[in-house]
Chain A
Amino acid sequence: MTTTSIQRSGLGKAMGGVGRAREFGILIALALVVIAATAKNPNFLFSADGWRDLLLTPSILVLVAVGQAIVIITRNVDLSVGSVMGLTAYLTGRLFIDIPGIPIVIVVIAAVAFGALLGLVNGALVAFAKVPAMVITLGTLYAYRGINVLWAGSDRVNASDMPKDFLGLGTAQLIGIPVLAIVALIVLAIAAWYMRNTRSGREYYAIGSDPAAAELYGLKVTRRLLTAFVLSGALAGLAGVFYAARYGSVSSQAGAGWELDAVGAAVIGGIAITGGVGSVWGAAIGAMLLMTINRALPILGIQDFWQRAVVGALIIGAIVLDRVLAVRQKRRLIEARDES
């Protein structure tokens, strides 16, 4: 029995290693993309705009992906994030137009709160009505977008409608790092700490790992699900503010299709779609990778029309590679039992 214990212990450690290796692998892929693009065109990294865009462009998706990751970890999914982001982006613009001189902080708080509210609707439907999240959020994906179009009509928010200070946030830098990227990083770090080191954080994993067991266990499943969706909504809301600041113009279609990017980022980043596995860091790196690939392709000389195809192939490549490595690692570990 003692010998087995040693072997198992080894296996356990190594399995933990595999988990970490997933994020590491994606990080390597990200680095490769950056290096390749920079080699082709040094501007990609070594120009003020290049450096800024490298950090700035993924920031918005990082926020959405972090929220998405938390939801997926609970074995749910939030397909409405794109619509939530669009709505809050429009709300942001609308507030600046309708209440001249409104402080930026108030607008940010309002947008985040509004996003949280939309998330709460999702969460309540999922948690209380016990309806699969995929269905609920597919429904609210349409419904929220519809509300957005109803509200905005053909109106759009233009850069001239928003205060300069606010638009400045979209590009402002602090010690050479874009402010939005810093905010995203802070949010990410807090989320990561919360998910890893607090009781409630761990409960998301437990719920996703086996929802029925979580119920048996007496975990506050309903409350956690609500929180997960509220967090996802709030982060999408914050992303909406970012979107307005960065792109300076918001139409009723803002954020359309982002749900797939967000889910894609989480999945690439090693979040298991079946819940319980992965980290928000992984999702964030996945988001970086997706956006960076998008930016790197034209530089690498891939013609505009083919870029979608390459992105698709890369998504598949990333998850296949990830899987192959994990399987090989696992097999090696099992066979290693014989030697010891």
Chain B
Amino acid sequence: ADTGAGSGGDGGGSEGGSDNLTITFLPKNLGNPYFDTSSKGGKTAVEEIGGTFAEVGPAEATPDAQVSYINTATQQGVGALVVSANDPKAICDALNEARDAGVKVVTFDSDTNPDCRDLFINQADAEGIAKVQVDLIAEQIGGAGEIAVLSASANATNQNAWIDLMTEYLASDYPDITLVETVYGDDDDQTSFDKTAALLQTHPNLKGIISPTTVGIAAAARYLSTSDYKGTVALTGLGTPNQMREYVEDGTVTAFALWNPEELGYLSAYAAAALIQGDITGAEGDTFEAGDLGEYTVGADGTVLLGDPFEFNADNIGDFDF
């Protein structure tokens, strides 16, 4: 790998495995605490394995900016690239080019089309994520009433998939709950904040908000905690304990969910290493050892499942720091 992609290119399709344990993490964007935590896990894992860790990424979560970084990784001839995709299709070609040059590609958090990567490390299965959030909100609003969704950007793959599943699950299990609107805060504090304000004004009968994104739920909680709706409009979704601690303690939010992003990064790094070393190819049924997390098996479509989402509430939030 010292000579760059040129030599990597030969190793392209070979199954033999290599010792190039350079693993680069490419989150959706930098400056996002969620990815900060996942990269931390990744770094721990890479150090355990004895490889070289790097984190690169654009300032803004757009696919075109991500492509430049994928290309760079290709040029550098890294061993594996661990990506959270800003678009399932737009970065595909770049990823495939990287794979052609011998780079193993692992997606985590947000997947691409299955044919553009070797593995997808799924934080929790989509149905599970959708279900836990809907169940939480249903419990908090008493199983009936209007709810709304505050999402990330309009094109976020994972968010959109969850919202679709939530809608189905609502229709089948909670017919009395209506999802009145989905708005997009673009994973920006201020936009999410202002969209929350607008939601509350536009729908005076709103009972609850689901925000399946860590930035969104924090901003929404901040607005709610300062408004008259505090305590009357429920809020749940996916958030990090550190950002939500304040609002759980002051009663704005009773419970929310998330997996451990640190573990997600950790697992992704181990999976990447396993691919590099040729222990697995990404085929269904492959198994690999993921350090402290134990053994994992590759499922259908080259997907590895981290586990079930975890529910945070006032009782347990004190135990976490990420």
Verify whether A and B have any Cβ pair under 8 Å.
yes
Q: In the complex the two chains form, what is the Cα distance from A171 to B222 in whole Å?
A: 11
Q: Is the CB of B31 within 8 A of A252?
A: yes
Q: Which among B31, B154, B188 has the greatest number of chain A C-beta atoms within 10 A?
A: B31
B245 within 8 A of A: yes
Interface with B: A41-49, A226-234, A330-338, which one? A41-49
Q: In the complex the two chains form, what is the Cα distance from A225 to B25 in whole Å?
A: 45
Q: Which among A153, A154, A299 has the greatest number of chain B C-beta atoms within 10 A?
A: A154
Q: In the complex the two chains form, what is the Cα distance from A152 to B32 in whole Å?
A: 10
Name the B residues within 8 Å of A243 (CB-CB). Answer: 190
Asked whether A160 and B228 contact (CB < 8 A) given A154-B36, A247-B193, A251-B31, the answer is no
Q: Is the CB of B198 within 8 A of A153?
A: no
Query: Residues 235-267 of chain B: 1 if any A CB is under 8 Å from the residue's CB, otherwise 0?
Result: 000000011011100000000000000000000
Near B by CB (< 8 A), chain A positions 163-185 give 167, 170-171
Name the B residues within 8 Å of A159 (CB-CB). Answer: 218, 222, 225, 246-247
Name the B residues within 8 Å of A156 (CB-CB). Answer: 31, 33, 243
Q: Is the CB of B188 within 8 A of A304?
A: no
Name the B residues within 8 Å of A298 (CB-CB). Answer: 183, 198-199, 201-202
Closest Cβ of chain B to A57, distance in Å, is: 7
Partner of B219, one of A44, A57, A249: A249
B304 within 8 A of A: no
Q: Is the CB of B202 within 8 A of A299?
A: yes
Q: Which residue of A lies closest to B55 (CB)?
A: A154
Q: Which residue of B lies closest to A168 (CB)?
A: B226
Asked whether A158 and B202 contact (CB < 8 A) given A171-B226, A253-B31, A295-B194, the answer is no
Name the B residues within 8 Å of A145 (CB-CB). Answer: 59
Q: Is the CB of A249 within 8 A of B189?
A: yes
B197 within 8 A of A: yes
Q: Which residue of B lies closest to A154 (CB)?
A: B36
Near B by CB (< 8 A), chain A positions 123-181 give 145, 149, 152-156, 158-160, 167, 170-171
Asked whether A304 and B184 contact (CB < 8 A) given A171-B226, A295-B198, the answer is yes
Q: Is the CB of A158 within 8 A of B246?
A: yes
Closest Cβ of chain A to B261, distance in Å, is: 12
Closest Cβ of chain B to A54, distance in Å, is: 10
A289 within 8 A of B: no
Q: Is the CB of A149 within 8 A of B59?
A: yes
Name the A residues within 8 Å of B202 (CB-CB). Answer: 41, 298-299
Partner of B218, one of A50, A249, A299: A249
Name the A residues within 8 Å of B225 (CB-CB). Answer: 159
We find that the number of chain B residues with CB closer than 8 angstroms to chain A is 41
Q: In the complex the two chains form, what is the Cα distance from A170 to B30 in whole Å?
A: 27
Name the B residues within 8 Å of A44 (CB-CB). Answer: 201
Near B by CB (< 8 A), chain A positions 46-61 give 47-50, 53, 57
Q: In the complex the two chains form, what is the Cα distance from A47 to B182 in whole Å?
A: 23
Closest Cβ of chain A to B145, distance in Å, is: 17
B227 within 8 A of A: yes
Name the A residues within 8 Å of B190 (CB-CB). Answer: 243, 247, 254-255
Closest Cβ of chain A to B195, distance in Å, is: 8
Q: In the complex the two chains form, what is the Cα distance from A250 to B31 in whole Å?
A: 10
Q: Which residue of A lies closest to B35 (CB)?
A: A154
Asked whether A49 and B31 contact (CB < 8 A) given A57-B194, A247-B190, the answer is no
Name the B residues within 8 Å of A329 (CB-CB). Answer: none
Closest Cβ of chain B to A80, distance in Å, is: 16
B229 within 8 A of A: yes
Name the B residues within 8 Å of A294 (CB-CB). Answer: 194
Q: Which residue of A lies closest to B227 (CB)?
A: A49
A269 within 8 A of B: no
Hey, which bits of chain B sit against chain A, CB under 8 A? 30-33, 35-36, 39, 59-60, 154, 181-184, 188-190, 193-195, 197-202, 204, 215, 218-219, 222, 225-229, 242-243, 245-247
